Amino acid sequence: MKIGVFDSGIGGLTVLKSLVNSRCFSEIIYYGDTARVPYGVKDKETIIRFSIEAVDFFNRFNIDMLIVACNTVSAYAINAMRKYATYPIVGVIEPGVLSLSNKISDKNKNILIIATKATTKSRIYEKKLHKLGYKNTHSLQTGFFVPLVEEGIFKGKLLNTTFEYYFANTKIPDAIILGCTHFPLIQNEIKKYFHNKPILIHSGDAIIEYLIKKYRLKKVSKKMPKISYFASANPKSIKDSAKIWLK
């Protein structure tokens, strides 16, 4: 199976890693809109317009499915994108919610969603969780983690100060949805900050669970899939980051 993976930039490599490790795909085309990242601070119309342009990009590759790694795009643009594609397009929101519901059955548990400004504003995770009966949800926009991770800051003083800034008034949640591509790279530190108590939901792992359940995906090979990287700016930086992040 040949798939496309779309993200606003390099963050989607965290999802790519899970897709690669699943060994369910023979070929993966990764495209990051690095010229226009971040999407998480943009308005809905712009996010949709850029995302439709990405479908246009993928339409030349004869892919069997497009995975949208970006939470912000998944929150706003999936339906609009589907109008321009002949293959299924799968975002990360539903998989995240499904993964959480598989892990947390008590609807009174305290669930924290951390995401970009745009994803938080959409309230999409909360709406879907409320539909399933979860009563105790809380969203926080923690967009400053994005540039920190892009700077390669995965631990230390600056990250801890940012945790204090965002989480000082947050009581320890039972689960945290990592609602942004970049957050898995600091997930151990986030967990530590909350005394290793919360369960974390990672979009990449969630999407594999989802694809196996909904599309009956199976392991096709023990070998790494063939991966091609494309970017709207600095394609080399994606390849360089992939070397480090995919380890």
Under the criterion CB under 6 A, does residue 141 sit at the interface with ligand DGL? no
Residues between 47 and 106 that touch ligand DGL (CB under 6 A): 70-72
Q: How far is the CB of 155 from ligand DGL (least distance, A)?
A: 20
Interaction mask 185-224, ligand DGL, x per CB under 6 A: ----------------------------------------
The answer to whether 221 and 53 have CB atoms below 8 angstroms apart is no
Cite the beta strand spans of the chain per DSSP E.
Answer: 2-7, 27-32, 65-68, 89-90, 111-115, 137-141, 175-179, 199-202, 226-231
Q: Which is nearer to ligand DGL, 137 or 181 (CB)?
A: 181
- The catalytic position among 16, 55, 65, 70 is 70
Considering only 93, 112, 180, 200, the residue that binds ligand DGL (CB under 6 A) is 180
> Is 24 a residue of the active site?
no
Considering only 28, 124, 146, 200, the residue that binds ligand DGL (CB under 6 A) is 146
User: 65 - beta bridge partners?
Assistant: 3
Residues between 4 and 43 that touch ligand DGL (CB under 6 A): 7-9, 11, 37-40
Task: Spell out the residues 6+ positions from residue 114 whose beta carbon is closer than 8 angstroms to its own.
Answer: 139, 140, 141, 142, 145, 166, 176, 177, 178, 179, 180, 183, 190
Residue with tokens 């594609």: 85
Q: How far is the CB of 15 from ligand DGL (least distance, A)?
A: 9
HSE (side-chain half, CA atoms, 13 Å) at 78: 18
Which stretches of 173-245 are DSSP H helices? 187-193, 203-215, 235-245
Q: Which amino acid is at 53?
A: E
- The site for ligand DGL (CB under 6 A) is made up of 7-9, 11, 37-40, 70-72, 116, 119, 146, 180-182
Just list the catalytic residues.
70, 180
